Structure 1
Amino acid sequence: MLFNQRAYFKNGALLAATCAIAALPVLAETANFGTLTLSRGFGAPTAVLRGSTGGSYSLSAIANADRHKNKCLGFATPTPDHIIVLQQNFSKLTIQVNSKGTDTTLLVQGGNTVRCGDDAGQNKDADIVDSDWQAGSYRIWVGTLEPGVKSNYTISVQE
C-alpha cells in the first residue's frame, strides 16, 4: 500500500473546509438569551424577549451609524443578546426595550442592514420603529450608555 501524500492533504483540507463551513451557521446564530421566530400576524405575548445588560463592548465597533444615519451608541457584549428570525417580509416592525429606568440603546443587524435606536421620546429606553424588514435572521444587542451597567430588561416586538 503506497501512501499518497498529495491525496491525503487534499482530502484532509477538503474535510477541514467542509467542517468549518458546516459549523458557520451554528456559530453565527448564537445569542446570549436565545432566538425568537416570528411570522406575520404574531400575537403580542409571543413577541417578548428577556435578558440583561452588562457588557463593555462598544456597539460602534459593529457600525457607527445605521441606514438612516442614526448613531449606534452603547456598550454590550460582543455576542448578540437575541436573534429574531422573520419567516416573511414585514412592512413595519417596532422593537422596544423596557428596563424600568436604565438608559438603554439598541442595535439590530440583519437583512444586509443595521438599525440603531436610543431613547424613545421622554423614556430612557431604546426603540426602533422602521419599515421594510426582509425575511431572515436579525441579531439584536441591547446596550447601555456606560460600559458594565447591569440591568434586566424585556423587549417587545410589534407589527
Structure 2
Amino acid sequence: MKYCRPRLQFTGGWLLAILTAITATPVIAETANFGTFNLSANFNPAQGIVQGFTGGSYSLSAISNRDRDQKACIGFADPNPDHIMVLEKDFSHLTIQVNSGGSDTTLTIQGPDQTTIRCGDDTGKNKDASVSDRNWKSGTYRIWVGTFNPGVKRDYTLTVEQQ
C-alpha cells in the first residue's frame, strides 16, 4: 500500500489576509513587571503608591526620543513596562515620582493613545526622576522606571499624587 500525503493548496487571498493581520497588529505589552493599579476621582493617597526595582538594558529612547514637551527620554529598563496605571477619569494635574533613595532613575510614561509620552529625569537636586504634568486623560498608561546606566538594579517606590 502506498502512503499518500495530503496536499494542501493555499489560495493566496486568505493566506495573505492572515499574514497581513498578524504583521499589522501592534505588539503592546499588556502585563507589567509589578502589576496594574487603578486610580479614580479623589483616590486615597495609598492607592497611588507602588513598588518595584529597576533593571534591564532596553533603551527607553526606543519608545520615544522626546516627550510631548520635547524633554529627552533617556535611561534603560526592561522592555515590558514596570507598572500599568489605569486612570478611571481625567485628571487635570498629576505628579509621578520615583524614590530609590537618590539613585539616578528615569521615567517614561506612555499614554492611552500610544503617542502621548511623558519623560522625567532628575528632580531638582535629587537624582530620582519625576513627572509633573497637566491633562491626564482617562485610560491605560504604561510606566517604565529606568536607570541612567543599563543593567543597574535599584529598589524603588513610585508615588502618584493628584494636585
TM-score range, shorter chain: 0.7 to 0.9
Supply the RMSD in Å over aligned alpha carbons.
2.7
Instruction: Give the secondary structure class of the aligned counterpart of 1:31.
Output: coil
Displacement of 1:146 after TM fit? 0.5
TM-superposition CA deviations, 1:60-110 (whole Å, max 9, x none): 111000000000010001110000000110000000000012100000001
In the TM superposition, 1:24-103 aligns within 5 A as 28-103=29-104
Report the structure number with the largest CA radius of gyration: 2
Match of 1:156 in 2: 159
Match of 2:129 in 1: 126
Structure 1 unaligned residues grouped into runs of 5+: none
Question: Identity over the aligned pairs, expressed in percent?
Answer: 58
Is 1:107–2:87 an aligned residue pair? no
AA partner of residue 98 (structure 1):
N
Displacement of 1:6 after TM fit? 7.7
Q: Retained in 1: the 8 A contact 2:29–2:80?
A: no
Distance in 2 (alpha carbons) for counterparts of 1:38 and 1:157: 9
**How many residues end up aligned between the 2 structures?**
153
**TM-score (norm. length: structure 1):** 0.84
Displacement of 1:28 after TM fit? 3.4
Distance in 1 (alpha carbons) for counterparts of 2:136 and 2:32: 20
Give the structure with the higher percent helix: 1
Distance in 1 (alpha carbons) for counterparts of 2:31 and 2:128: 25
Q: Retained in 1: the 8 A contact 2:83–2:143?
A: yes
Runs (4 or more) in structure 1 with deviation over 2 Å come to none
